[in-house]
Amino acid sequence: MVELAMGIMLGLCGVGAGIALIAGIGPGIGEGQAVAAACEAIGRQPEAKSDVTSTMVMGCAIAETTGLYGLIIGILLIFVAPGIYSGVLRDTVAALK
Amino acid sequence: MSRLDPTVKKETAYAALWVTALSLIMEAVFLIGDWWTPAVLLGNMAGAVTAVLNYLLLGITVAKAVSGPAEKAPLKVRSSMTARLLGQAAVVAVAIGVFHTNVYATLLPLLFPRIGIAFRPMIDRKRGKTAVEPEGSDLLD
């Protein structure tokens, strides 16, 4: 029974990590649209290229943070959560006995 | 090989400076808290190098995308972002899984460039720099 619970818990950690990484899709789409708009802006004002590029790099880095949060949650769910949850499970089983 | 855009160089140097400073602070916190092990230093180095490299690649991609046609830019940036995110995931997973680095010391430096950007307006204001205003914006006042 404990093995089954452990298996379900590990499986759910993996599923959770997969779902967390979905957060990486949104920023990519947003960044793409922002850069396309930046291209048009540079087309209108070529002298502002340096400023637009600088702002775009910072803006894209900020947008990417959302994806990074997902990545960090995913990594924590894979490497840290199973250890913590299996400890909790073992303690609970020991307390019930 | 084409030369690196000066704006990208400047932005990456700024991010690298922040990553280095915050990494030192993080190491100090680990030392003070008596949690420091060589795995922390190794993880910090892996995370910091990944974060700066990611920022550099982002800058190169953006600089290339804004120089090209607007129709191709979204696809370029999207594919670059996916590749960079997967690359970061792979580096972090290998560092933690194979080299047994400290998980938190490996993951935290990935967010350090973002912290540097958050302080950017404050630094620019101190230097007396202002954002570029579009033509005719004074008419709105």
ipTM attached to this prediction: 0.84
Q: Of A32, A42, A54, which is closest to B74 when you measure between CB atoms?
A: A32
- Whether residue B109 lies inside any domain: the answer is yes
- Would residue A5 count as lying in a domain? no
Q: Which domain holds residue B46?
A: 6-126
CB contact under 8 A, A29 and B58: no
Which residues from chain B sit within 8 angstroms of residue A74, using beta carbons? 89
Query: Is B135 inside a domain boundary?
Result: no
Chain B residue whose CA is closest to A80: B103
- A72 CB-near residues (< 8 Å, 6+ apart): B107, B110, B111
The answer to whether residue B44 sits within a structural domain is yes
| Cβ atoms of residues A32 and A56 within 8 Å | no
Query: For residue A47, is it within any domain?
Result: yes
Here the CATH number for the domain that contains residue A64 is 1.20.20.10
Digit-coded pLDDT (tens) for B72-130: 889 999 999 999 999 999 999 999 999 999 999 999 999 999 999 999 888 888 887 65
Blockwise average pLDDT, block size 10, chain A, 97 residues: 87 94 88 90 89 90 92 93 89 88
CB contact under 8 Å between A32 and B85, yes or no, is: no
> What total of structural domains would you count in chain B?
1
> Which of A35, A57, A80 is nearest residue B8 as measured by Cβ atoms?
A57
Name the residue range of residue A49's domain. 24-86
Q: Is residue A39 part of a domain?
A: yes
* Domain count along chain A: 1
∠ CA B111-A24-A35, nearest 5°, is: 85
